[in-house]
Structure 1
């Protein structure tokens, strides 16, 4: 795990190395200052001249300035290193997610990925800063101060070796108890973020059903759950402070008592006031070092689980990979399903698609219709390799899709998904997702074909109109038409419209289909629809039922021979007649 995280340091290795060096110099100087101060006190006691005091004072001022300078620079480099490390972690996670297949995405919840890229990365960032700064300073300070305490105090310094084991045992127990709680709480963080995400995305539904109170209670429950676990963990970690204070006071009482007794009695010949002041200073240094080490342990305890969750995302390998010698050319838009079966998970008890055999010629227009849950969308998702078939072979242009370069294949298969997604930005920027180099004229042409140009022209800023996040400032039908135009700009060999005209009226739907037929005669067009009117003009219509093909034929053939198609047609035709009265 450490190696995986270390790869994200990259260009910040230099400042990550400089920081411990500066901290080491700061610690060395801080440990020398009490020694010089003790020497000065002893010289003053023995009646030294003013020049000697001034010289020692100048040395102390210079050393204090150097210590301050090294500490300040180390603080700056540590901040640069930790923030840069966090930036690279988020970048590596995001890039990794971009390479995920749909199967990988299904493994992680969206809310969990957001938590990992925000809260978890912040925890690791803070831990990293402490590792390259505090975790270096505290042990060095502990060692140097301990050595100097022996030099200055002799046997008196053994008190530190007596206290340390008790402190180590106490910290170990605290970490052992707290770690499982932190593992538990981060999973509940995911649930909390999921509640927030669902509420914000479904705000219009929440308000239309007046369910604010219900959502507030659901959020409160998730928040209370997180709070309760964090409280339990923090209560355990809170013992860290009293434990440190107890050890500190034990050492202080011993040093003050034994040191004072040694000076007052005849033994003071070997132990003077300067040494006593120095040993007190080193006492504080040692105990503060132990306090800082305990803080590092606490932070690492919290960040350890976060680090595991981050590495899980970075190391997740896409289930979709290019073959060793991929094919970079798609000959045509022909599609073939040969004994194809598919299930989303290996643990699934039944196949979502079963024994699909289908041949589609290049340039054909194919309609797909069927009830909800009949696996219409699943079928077409195998064409651009959004998923791989569990059994059988899917071919495009006569070649197994698994033999193509993924980017090449997906550039030749344009797919307008059920959930139409627009990104924050102008209409032009959204359209150029289809072709980043498209000219304004090409944008307008594609929008005219998708019947989007008319409503775009009515906006005050036209194609420069800003689309809000999720496309909330345009209607569902407008979003669909913009997404269709975006797909047309790819000029693909296969165009898949997955229920992409459900929010437009039948007249506009017919215009779009006619435009596609005339504009893209050589492109294979697959239209998934709920309305039979959307697929009536197709060369062939596929009727799906329960993950299998129930029937294939023209509108007239299916109307005469296929029970499912006939039921759908007459139920919709009746509804259409009634609505037209």
Structure 2
């Protein structure tokens, strides 16, 4: 909670102004019953019309002051709440950007989105309502009780006895409500998770005709959210009837004993009216508490969820440990793995086992292996998305651990297995690899990626808008755009993770030929021997271990596994030719 509300510190001045103006309103509200008592006792009871006009004018003037204070208070309360919400969202976004893969795995994507939207909104609303009306309620209760004691201490003791009992009840309700609304927010995460999966995989849902199944998944998740919300609100709604019961009993007691005091001469009618007025105002303030309980309970749950993200230990950044050396002087030279082993956090089984190999500067290495053999994991170690469990990786003879992370990654062009394109134009997606690239450089990268001719045929060419995740492009077209995005960096080290799988043989051959225009070392993960045959060296992985190493001719002679792959793909090609 303290971490979240520390975001209020830059807005101390407007917070103080809002609080002062709120106190002005509160003061007016507390003085009004005294003025009303004056009008009754000095004016009406004494038949003094001038006293009625005098005290009435003072009441009207003070009401106008309270009105102006309320308007200005609303402005400052809105400014503080919206500004704090902006800062919270920005802080969460920046914090998430620093997460390592290990830290990201702690939260579902839908949960992070909920925390940045719904949870921040809960905090915003709480801040606004606190500065506008919420703080008035407890202060009105305290101030009203004190003023009632000042008017008639004997009758006010009824309020002094009733209010602590009510406050204890409210504290219990708030604690209970906090735990319930934490469950509500968790169920909201679940609904967002199902929605996100469904919308992301909409094509698959339609092709497999699974809308009924997905509809049932959403219904179950939505019903769980509804049930938890209803149970939480049902408990909260109990608060108001209980409060009204206690306070109405108190008011009746004041009227009952007050009548005896008036008859005995121990109190004036105006005093009884003033105390009843204070009791009524306290009752209205207490009824606000049912809303306060709900808002603060939800805010408490939201603040804890936001703090979970903001307070993640900065030292727990696997794969993000920055070095001290600049990678600016990297020539895109050799890549060396020395006895590298790796297992994912919270797992004991190694994905990569004692892997050693060397790729000379400017050479191309092709990596083959079955699914789950550790090919893609190997690529994630080079840009330090994860740290090796054992062993070391060297670029240009230097251990990558000594390099600054950003410097190192700027030297790498990476095309992931799962292509991702952003909403925007074709040009913007290619420039995402280098936002300072000129149109000429964009076109050059597109030509080398074998996508320029297609772009030229689009309605607005390089200014053509791409749908979300590239839904209006084929798999091969998305792959080539992703390749162009990597090439425009003019990388010293190019990592292609099965990035030509959707390309036909001729297009792939032209692309591999175009790669010779780049002075970089290239590592290609592929399932195609036609791709591997053009590499300077091939490594065959099997369950995270190096099963064989050499060029195409050497492996055909030395590796039984490679021979099997070769024969299998030859049969496939022969079958396709028939």
TM-score by length of 1: 0.95
Q: Does 1:534 align with 2:531?
A: yes
Name the residue aligned to 2:521. Answer: 524
Structure 1 residues 132 and 326, CA gap change in structure 2 (3 angstroms): farther
Contact persistence 1:330–1:412 (CA under 8 A): no
Contact persistence 1:366–1:542 (CA under 8 A): yes
Superposition deviation, residue 329 in structure 1: 2.6
Name the residue aligned to 1:338. Answer: 338
> Helix, strand or coil for the counterpart of 2:135?
helix
How big is each residue's C-alpha offset from its partner over 1:244-303, in whole Å with a ceiling of 9 and x where there is no partner?
11112111211222223333x2x2x34222222211211122222233344323322222
Contact persistence 1:22–1:70 (CA under 8 A): yes
Could you tell me how far apart the structure 2 residues matched to 1:230 and 1:46 are? 54
Map of 1:272-351 to 2, 5 A cutoff? 272-316=268-312, 317=314, 318-323=317-322, 325-333=324-332, 334-345=334-345, 347-351=346-350
Superposition deviation, residue 179 in structure 1: 3.2
How big is each residue's C-alpha offset from its partner over 1:490-534, in whole Å with a ceiling of 9 and x where there is no partner?
1111010111111221211111111012x11x2001111121112
Could you tell me how far apart the structure 2 residues matched to 1:455 and 1:118 are? 39
How big is each residue's C-alpha offset from its partner over 1:116-171, in whole Å with a ceiling of 9 and x where there is no partner?
11222122222222333334212221222111111112211111122123313322
> Helix, strand or coil for the counterpart of 1:133?
helix
Contact persistence 2:24–2:66 (CA under 8 A): yes
Name the residue aligned to 1:271. Answer: 267
Q: Does 1:463 align with 2:433?
A: no
Superposition deviation, residue 456 in structure 1: 0.6
Name the residue aligned to 1:580. Answer: 577
Name the residue aligned to 1:189. Answer: 188
Could you tell me how far apart the structure 2 residues matched to 1:171 and 1:60 are? 33
Contact persistence 2:322–2:401 (CA under 8 A): yes
Superposition deviation, residue 426 in structure 1: 1.0
How big is each residue's C-alpha offset from its partner over 1:420-458, in whole Å with a ceiling of 9 and x where there is no partner?
111111111111111111111111010000011111111
Map of 1:73-88 to 2, 5 A cutoff? 73-88=72-87
> Helix, strand or coil for the counterpart of 1:271?
coil
- Structure 2: which 5+ runs fail to align? none
Name the residue aligned to 2:412. Answer: 413
Map of 1:439-478 to 2, 5 A cutoff? 439-478=438-477
How big is each residue's C-alpha offset from its partner over 1:520-563, in whole Å with a ceiling of 9 and x where there is no partner?
1x200111112111221000011111011111111111122222
Name the residue aligned to 1:159. Answer: 158
Higher mean C-alpha displacement, 438-447 vs 43-52: 43-52
Q: Does 1:362 align with 2:361?
A: yes
Superposition deviation, residue 400 in structure 1: 1.7
Structure 1 residues 10 and 332, CA gap change in structure 2 (3 angstroms): farther
- CA RMSD in angstroms comes to 1.8
Superposition deviation, residue 473 in structure 1: 1.4
Regions of 4+ moved over 6 Å: none
Name the residue aligned to 1:125. Answer: 124
Name the residue aligned to 1:42. Answer: 41
Could you tell me how far apart the structure 2 residues matched to 1:47 and 1:176 are? 52
- Structure 1: which 5+ runs fail to align? none
Contact persistence 2:43–2:50 (CA under 8 A): no
> Helix, strand or coil for the counterpart of 1:369?
strand
Contact persistence 1:423–1:470 (CA under 8 A): yes
Could you tell me how far apart the structure 1 residues matched to 2:6 and 2:250 are? 43
Q: Does 1:479 align with 2:478?
A: yes
Could you tell me how far apart the structure 2 residues matched to 1:331 and 1:180 are? 54
How big is each residue's C-alpha offset from its partner over 1:32-89, in whole Å with a ceiling of 9 and x where there is no partner?
1221121122121344554443332222111001111111221221122112211111
Could you tell me how far apart the structure 2 residues matched to 1:401 and 1:135 are? 55
Alignment coverage as a number of residue pairs: 574
Could you tell me how far apart the structure 2 residues matched to 1:7 and 1:477 are? 49
Could you tell me how far apart the structure 2 residues matched to 1:17 and 1:564 are? 75
Q: Does 1:59 align with 2:58?
A: yes
TM-score by length of 2: 0.95
> Helix, strand or coil for the counterpart of 1:107?
coil
How big is each residue's C-alpha offset from its partner over 1:162-204, in whole Å with a ceiling of 9 and x where there is no partner?
2123313322333343333333333222222111111101111
Contact persistence 1:22–1:73 (CA under 8 A): yes
Structure 1 residues 226 and 490, CA gap change in structure 2 (3 angstroms): same
Map of 1:201-280 to 2, 5 A cutoff? 201-263=200-262, 265=263, 267=264, 269-280=265-276
> Helix, strand or coil for the counterpart of 1:144?
helix
> Helix, strand or coil for the counterpart of 1:503?
coil
Q: Does 1:557 align with 2:562?
A: no
Superposition deviation, residue 7 in structure 1: 3.5
Map of 1:163-174 to 2, 5 A cutoff? 163-174=162-173
